[in-house]
Amino acid sequence: MERIAVQTNVLKANQEAALENRLSFEREGLLVMNLMSGPGAGKTSLLEATIQALRGQCQIGVIEGDLQTDLDAERIRALGVRAFQINTGTMCHLDARMISRALQEFPFDDLDLLVIENVGNLICPASYDLGEGLRVVLCSVAEGPEKPKKYPVMFHKADVILLNKIDLGMPSGEDQRELEKNVRDVNPRAKVFAISCRTGEGLVAWTEWLTSAVAIQRPNRLTAS
Amino acid sequence: MHEISVAISIVEIAEANARKQGARSIQLIKLVLGEFTTIVQEALEFAFEIARQDTLAAHARLVIEIAPMVVRCLSCGVIRSPVRDIILSCPQCGLPLEIVAGEDIQLEYIEVETENIAWSV
């Protein structure tokens, strides 16, 4: 019997592929957002609202990850935005290699913002870096305020946390406040926006913030709004 | 449930290292699993039983050591472990805590049987 020291991170292959993606995004000055949430929190509705708000200001492309169907990509294409659907089959998350394969068929050099809508899942996508510059986690008030406590890794790693469906919260605002507190406990650094994609409440603050994040990444590509 | 992809990676990394040394089979794989990951130990052990089939690790034992989560306040220097309730603001100064350990899944070492060269029969 012989012992061989290995000392290797098990997710190394993904991290190496993510680094390659990140370098090519940086070469293009492209902001890439990895959008994650549980199923039904409103990722595609958020994208629709964000695309409409940024129309004419920057060029957006979308990569959609789902186990099956291209229904989400169709919703995005209906808005005149280029979308690419990845069907993962039975895989519960996107990984960096799936993104680099998609990018071979999906030109991104003319984009200002690439949004990758991950598979609806608050667990596995947290462990797979795709090479993104911005990690956005969406959580709806209607899911109950305890989600950040139950899925701390996902919430901890986010740069931005969006609390959606605030129109469905208690009239007293109690559940939204509790959700905000739980978000802060696991992630005191994240930028937090409370929004409703249905009523439009809070969306301006989010889209203005996003527009400036795109501008920082690629100052010369923004046209006057 | 991405433990199966993680288990497949573990077997692939172990096999690559075993082959480099000309090993005949892998007897043991030692893994250090961070407490603050999205991996469930029992699910990973079950996935490993499937992933190891028809590989050099077909009869290998997976030994998992849990690495506790350790946090540090960059402002007042407080180091805490274990971390309870995962509240990541410093209890003393209120500033964000940095996670310094417990976020990785690391393959530490493998134990292998190497090829026996028959000098005499």
Q: What is the edge-to-edge ordering of all strands in the sheet holding B97-101?
A: B79-80, B70-73, B97-101
Q: What is the pLDDT of residue B1?
A: 63
- pLDDT, position B94: 87
Q: Are B56 and B13 in contact (CB under 8 A)?
A: no
Share of chain B above pLDDT 70, in %: 93
Listed as ranges, residues in chain A with pLDDT below 50 are 222-225
B88 touches A at CB < 8 Å = yes
Chain B residue numbers touching A5 (CB-CB < 8 A): 108-109
Subunit contact B86:A11, Cβ cutoff 8 A: no
Q: How many CB atoms lie within 10 A of CB A225?
A: 9
Within an 8 Å CB–CB cutoff, is residue B21 touching chain A?
Answer: yes
B22 Rama class: left (phi>0) / alpha (psi -120 to 50) / beta: left
CB contact under 8 Å between B114 and A124, yes or no, is no
What share of chain B in percent tops pLDDT 90? 74
Q: What is the mean pLDDT of residues B101-106?
A: 95
DSSP A178-189: HHHHHHHHH-SS
User: What is the per-residue burial (b if ≥16 Cβ within 10 Å, else e) of A66-94?
Assistant: beeebebbebbbeeebbbbbbebeebbbb
- Predicted pLDDT of residue A222: 46
ipTM metric: 0.88
Nearest to A92 among B2, B14, B106 (CB): B2
pLDDT > 90 in chain A, percent: 87
Distances (CA, A) of B22 to A26, A38, B112, B115, B121: 41, 45, 9, 6, 21
Other residues' Cβ atoms within 10 Å of the Cβ of residue A204 = 12
pLDDT at A95: 94
pLDDT range class, residue B85, cuts 50, 70, 90: confident
Write down the mean pLDDT value for chain A.
93
Of A182, A153, A179, the C-alpha closest to A165 is: A179
